[in-house]
Amino acid sequence: MLKLRTPYPRFVNAKEIIHGVNSIKALSGLQAVKVALIIGLSLSKKEELLKKITSSINCHQLHVIIRSWEDEPTLSSLQPVLDELIPFQPDCIIAIGGGSVIDGVKLVWAFYEHPGLSDSVLSRAFALPKLRGKARFCAIPTTAGTGSEVSSSAVFFDPEKRKKVPVVTHDFLPDLVILDPNLLVGIPRNILLSTVIDALSHAIEGYVSKLNNPLMDRFSELAISSISNHILKAIDFRNEEILAELQYAAMLAGWVQNHCVVGVSHALAHQMGSFKVPHGVANAIFLPLSIRFNSQDNDTKQRYALLAKNSGVGDSFYDLEQLIIRISQFGSFSLKLSDYGFTEEYTKDLLLLQNALDDPGARFNPVSLDHEKLTNLLENAL
Ligand SMILES: [Fe+2]
């Protein structure tokens, strides 16, 4: 409706969001002829659940495809899925999985609609041609944290440039999102914790980003308060009500990330693809350090204090830092970069530092960054 850029904050979102226990059954109301269902590996192993999902989908023809990429997608790893998808010619694509599945499917969808997209179109924000000429898109997350289901971007890893590249278009916002906590019931503890920390980092980094705005502030405060109230209960009792709260918090934080971008913790986390540090774990490492670093600026320190107070977790940046550390301690993942093969020499790697500086997270971080400051942060994470 409006031009892409306006001087006022705007709110863009998925077209429809269905939520609640057993809401996956809403797929029985789907209006589609040929549906391609693209799923992650873990769901492909849960035969009963998969059967329940496929039998709910209302369509004439259904084709189930298991994603072909591991962890984060690379462009070449999308090809086997495209090879199955293109001859099928679906008019609806459903992605069920964690953030990397949903991101990968967004990219598969873009290549299905526009084969041969060039690198320069992919890497320029809002340069992608219009989607939905062939298919509509539905995203169903199986983790609570990445916010990919309400994000206008899809991230892929470029192994040559050793960096993660975000492809950005509001067309990626799904036609339909389903948040069914049943899909999270058996989630492994480390994945639950690390994806929730990713959500925390979206809420916290967005709150102090140069793009923060009052509407998103409310979402951040609510997301943090909900996570701090529910995450420990979720570890012990995987009941649907608690998991639903985490799904809502992840979506709220996802909205914040989508509108305020994020900060230096994400700028560094995005460089950890070569070292196979999961995205949420990378944020568990960098977020406390980035809060401490940004608190050198008095205004930012006050913003952290306001966030801690309004979300009920304390009254200073220290309380936010401690919340992340406390949650991380319940996981069995290492919080030291050196345990992932990241040695001291990488802290001064010029390509890595420049990639981090070029990341949108660095651009909108409240405190300006340079190679030396990033090196210091990396050294503290070893
Ligand atoms: Fe993230």
At 3 the pLDDT is 75
Cα–ligand 1 centroid distance for 98 (angstroms): 12
In tens, the pLDDT along 168-198 reads 999 999 999 999 999 999 899 999 999 999 9
Given 3-state DSSP classes, what are the helix, strand and coil percentages for the chain, each rounded to the nearest 5? 55, 10, 35
Residue 222 CA to ligand 1 center (angstroms) comes to: 18
CA–CA distance, 359 with 109 (Å, rounded to integer): 24
**Ligand 1 centre and the CA of 88: distance in Å?**
33
pLDDT of residue 370: 98
User: How many Cα atoms are found within 13 Å in the side-chain-facing hemisphere of 146?
Assistant: 23
Q: What is the pLDDT of residues 141-176, one digit of tens each?
A: 999 999 999 999 999 999 998 888 999 999 999 999
**Ligand 1 center to residue 63 CA distance, Å?**
30
Q: What is the pTM of this model?
A: 0.96
Mean pLDDT of the chain: 95
CA of 272 to the centre of ligand 1 (A): 12
Tokens representing residue 49 in the block: 């659940």
314 CA distance to ligand 1 middle (Å): 24
Q: What distance in angstroms lies between residue 46's CA and the mean position of ligand 1's atoms?
A: 27
pLDDT at 172: 98
C-alpha dihedral sign at 296, 302, 308, 314: positive
**pLDDT tens column, 46-86:** 999 999 999 999 999 999 999 999 888 999 999 999 999 99
Taking the centre of ligand 1 as the mean of its atom positions, its distance from the CA of residue 258, in whole angstroms, is: 10
Q: Which of 80, 145, 151 is nearest to 282 (CA)?
A: 145
Expressed in angstroms and rounded, the spacing between residue 267 Cα and the centre of ligand 1 is 10
**Rounded to the nearest whole angstrom, what is the distance from the C-alpha of residue 283 to the centroid of ligand 1?**
7
pLDDT the model gives residue 202: 98
Q: Which two tokens stand for residue 338?
A: 């050196």
**Per-residue pLDDT tens digits for 242-284:** 999 999 999 999 999 999 999 999 999 999 988 999 999 999 9
Domains by residue range for the chain, with CATH = 16-183 (3.40.50.1970), 187-380 (1.20.1090.10)
